[in-house]
Chain A
Amino acid sequence: MAELLLSAEGLDKVYGTGEAATHAMRGVSFEVAEGEFAAIIGQSGSGKSTLLNMLGLLDTPTAGRVVYRGTDTATLDKRKRAELRNELIGFVFQFHYLLPEFTVFENVAMPALIAGTTAPSEIRARAFETLAMLDLDGVEDKNANQLSGGQKQRVAIARALMNRPAIVLADEPTGNLDTVNTNLVYDLFRKINKETGTAFMIVTHDRNVAQRTDRILEISDGQLVQDVRSA
Chain B
Amino acid sequence: MLSLRIAWRFLRSSPVQSGLIVGGIAVGIAVQVFVGSLITSLQASLVDQTIGSAPQITIRAEKDGDPVVFSQRVQDVIAEQPRIVKRTVVPVRNATALFTDGTDSAPLNLIGGDLRQLDGIYRLTTRTEEGAASLRSTEIMVGTDFAKKFSITPGDTISLALQGGSRASFTVSGIFDLGSAAFNERQAFVAASVPQNVLGWSSTEYSSVQMQLDEPFASAEVAAAMRAKLPGVRVSEWQAENADLLVALQSQGSSSYIIQTFVLVAIALGIASTLAIAAVQKTRQIGILKAMGLSDGDAGRIFLWQAIIMGGAGSAAGVGLAYFLLFGFSFSGASFTIEPRLPFVLGSAAVGIGVALASSIIPTRRTSRLDPIEVIQSG
Chain A residues within 8 Å of B, Cβ to Cβ: 49, 53, 56, 58-59, 78-79, 82-83, 85-87, 91, 93-95, 97, 99-102, 110-111, 113-116, 159, 171
Closest Cβ–Cβ distance, residue B141 to chain A (whole Å): 75
A53-B2 in contact given A58-B291, A82-B290, A82-B294 (Cβ < 8 Å):
no
Chain A neighbourhood of B296, CB < 8 A: 78-79, 82
Contact B289 A114 (CB under 8 A): yes
Chain A neighbourhood of B293, CB < 8 A: 82-83, 85-87, 111, 114-115
Number of A-B residue pairs, CB cutoff 8 Å, is 63
- Contact partner of A85 (CB less than 8 A), chosen from B291, B298, B376, is B291
Give B284-297 as 1s and 0s: 1 = Cβ < 8 Å from A's Cβ atoms. 11001111111111
Contact B13 A53 (CB under 8 A): no
- Contact partner of A116 (CB less than 8 A), chosen from B2, B9, B292, B297, is B2
Q: Bound complex: CA of A94 vs CA of B288, how far in Å?
A: 13
Contact A99 B294 (CB under 8 A): no
Q: Which of B6, B9, B376, B377 has its CB near the most chain A CB atoms (within 10 A)?
A: B376
B9 nearest in chain A by CB position: A101
Q: Bound complex: CA of A59 vs CA of B371, how far in Å?
A: 9
What would 19 more interface pairs be, CB under 8 Å, given A97-B291, A113-B5, A171-B376?
A53-B373, A58-B373, A58-B376, A59-B373, A79-B295, A79-B297, A82-B293, A91-B292, A94-B379, A95-B379, A97-B284, A97-B288, A99-B285, A99-B289, A101-B6, A101-B9, A110-B289, A113-B2, A159-B292
Chain A neighbourhood of B288, CB < 8 A: 97, 99
B170 within 8 A of A: no
Chain B residues within 8 Å of A, Cβ to Cβ: 2, 5-6, 9-10, 12-13, 284-285, 288-298, 372-373, 376-377, 379
Closest Cβ–Cβ distance, residue A141 to chain B (whole Å): 14
Q: Which of A79, A87, A101 has its CB near the most chain B CB atoms (within 10 A)?
A: A101
Chain A neighbourhood of B13, CB < 8 A: 100-101
Chain B neighbourhood of A91, CB < 8 A: 291-292
Contact B292 A86 (CB under 8 A): yes
B8 nearest in chain A by CB position: A101
Chain A neighbourhood of B285, CB < 8 A: 99-101
Q: Bound complex: CA of A83 vs CA of B297, how far in Å?
A: 13
Chain A neighbourhood of B9, CB < 8 A: 101-102
Contact B376 A110 (CB under 8 A): no
Q: Bound complex: CA of A110 vs CA of B3, how far in Å?
A: 11
Q: Bound complex: CA of A91 vs CA of B9, how far in Å?
A: 23
Closest Cβ–Cβ distance, residue B303 to chain A (whole Å): 14
Closest Cβ–Cβ distance, residue A11 to chain B (whole Å): 15
Q: Bound complex: CA of A111 vs CA of B294, how far in Å?
A: 8
Chain B neighbourhood of A93, CB < 8 A: 376
Would you list 12 pairs from A and B whose C-beta atoms are within 8 A, ordered by A residue? A49-B377, A53-B376, A82-B294, A83-B293, A85-B292, A97-B288, A97-B291, A99-B288, A100-B13, A100-B285, A114-B298, A171-B376
B374 nearest in chain A by CB position: A58
Closest Cβ–Cβ distance, residue A226 to chain B (whole Å): 25
Closest Cβ–Cβ distance, residue A46 to chain B (whole Å): 15
A94 nearest in chain B by CB position: B379
Chain A neighbourhood of B10, CB < 8 A: 101
Closest Cβ–Cβ distance, residue A177 to chain B (whole Å): 16
Q: Which of A97, A110, A116, A171 has its CB near the most chain B CB atoms (within 10 A)?
A: A97
Chain A neighbourhood of B6, CB < 8 A: 101
Q: Bound complex: CA of A113 vs CA of B297, how far in Å?
A: 15
Contact B372 A114 (CB under 8 A): no
Chain B neighbourhood of A86, CB < 8 A: 292-293
